[in-house]
Structure formats: structure tokens, C-alpha cells
A = this chain, B = another copy of it.
Amino acid sequence: MTTDTHPKRAAVVNADGWTIGGIAKGAGMIAPDMATMLAFITTDVVADARLLQGILSEVVSHTFNAITIDGDTSTNDTVLAFANGASGVTPDVEQFSSALLAVCRSLAEQIVADGEGATKFVRVRVTGAAYEEDARRAARTVAESLLVKTALYGGDPNWGRIAAALGYSHVEGSLDRMTISIGGYELFSSGEPVASDAHAQARVALKDASQVTILCDLGAGDAFAEVLTTDLSPSYVSLNAKYET
């Protein structure tokens, strides 16, 4: 990965006359050779610093803090937002929040898409959780499972490894209400593998897919969360084994 060849940029222009722009750098969480995540967001709105920080923190929890390449958090991850007021417009808070969310989401997705050694961009979406915290933990556990990530690299729609990761994430839910889909194919439903050719179709679809969505419904409530990640390839290992301090 070189940032030169993968610039990460996003912007929203609002009809009221204000703009948000952002740039980011990624995408392994590596210290100290630093493909550290850095993101800088600028806007010309008139905004109180505390209000801006509050909105940014909320947005970050759903974007930059909802991505994982290898589970290794860098000590240097940084997201900064600057508002200079040049537009003279004090924006509608809801419009501004959703514009900031769009910019951060786009940057977070671009960081993941540029993950070290990645061959697939993976969206892990957990629904039906009892609590949002459960949904986030379950999604992150699936996203960081080496067995799930290697199966995705191999193009195997291995719902068993996903179910195992959901299990050891220790969130509320029961197997007999659990549903797992990979790439749009439902492979596990209400505690049973789906008896159809969905599995064979999912394998064909997965083989050449550069983007995959994993949907898991825990059947325990209404909360949901999404974590973005990548598959794990031998070249991730080589890249990070070759580096010398």
C-alpha cells in the first residue's frame, strides 16, 4: 500500500453554502512504521468547538472506530476536524451531523478498501441484538476472526466459522433464532443450515467478489451495528513479516 496511489478523500457541499472536506491515511494499524490511520476534516461552517467535538465523537464511533484491518490499534490514530467559519453559515445540526457522517463513512471505507494485502472489502452487519454494544462486539469478533478472514480469502462461504465467532463473542442470542447470510445468500437460518443450493451459489459468488457483506441476525432484539474489515491473505503476513526495525 502506498498512499500516493490510493488517495482517500471525501466531501459534502450543502445547499446552505457550507462544505465539509476530509482526507485520510491508512490502512494497517502499524506502529512504528506507520501506516497509522490519520484523518483530517475541514469545514467552513460556523460551529462551537464543543458542539463539533460532540458530533465528531458520535460520528467516529460509527465510522473510523467501526473498522478493523488486523485488530492492532495504533497509538497514533488521529481524527481531527477543523471549522474556520468562512462560509458564515451556522448549519442545521442534523444536516451537519449527517454530512459529517457521510464524509467520515466514505473515508473509513476507503481506508478499509486499501487494507494491507486485502483482496476483499468486507461488511459485517449484525442485527437483532439485545443491545447496540452487543451488536458492535459481535460484529467486531466476526470481523477479527482469523478463521473467518482466511475463509473469505479462500472464497469459502463458511457460516460455521461465523457462528463460532458469534458464540465466543458472548453476546445475548440463541442459536435457534440465529440467521447468517454471506453475499446475499442465506446459509444458516433458525439454528439450521439452509438445505438448498445456496451454499454452492454463495461459493461461486464469493470466489471473484471484491466486496462481501456478511449479515448476522441474533434474534435477541432490535439493536444493530456494522464493522468494516478485509479478508486475510498470505500477502498481509508477508508484508508485515518483511518489515525490519
Contact = CB atoms under 8 A, between A and B. Distances in A.
B72 A154 contact: no
Q: Is the interface of A mostly helix, strand, loop or mixed?
A: helix
A65 B7 CA distance: 44
Interface size class of chain A, counting residues whose CB lies under 8 Å from the partner chain: 35 or more
A150 B240 contact: yes
28 contacts: A30-B147, A31-B160, A32-B160, A70-B147, A71-B144, A71-B145, A71-B146, A72-B145, A72-B147, A72-B161, A73-B168, A75-B167, A146-B236, A146-B240, A147-B240, A150-B240, A150-B241, A151-B241, A151-B243, A153-B237, A154-B243, A156-B241, A156-B244, A157-B245, A199-B245, A203-B244, A233-B241, A234-B237
Contacts of A70: 146-147
A172 to B, nearest CB: 17
B240 A31 contact: no
A242 interface: yes
Copies in the complex: 2
Contacts of A243: 151, 154, 156, 158
Contacts of A157: 245
Nearest to A31: B164
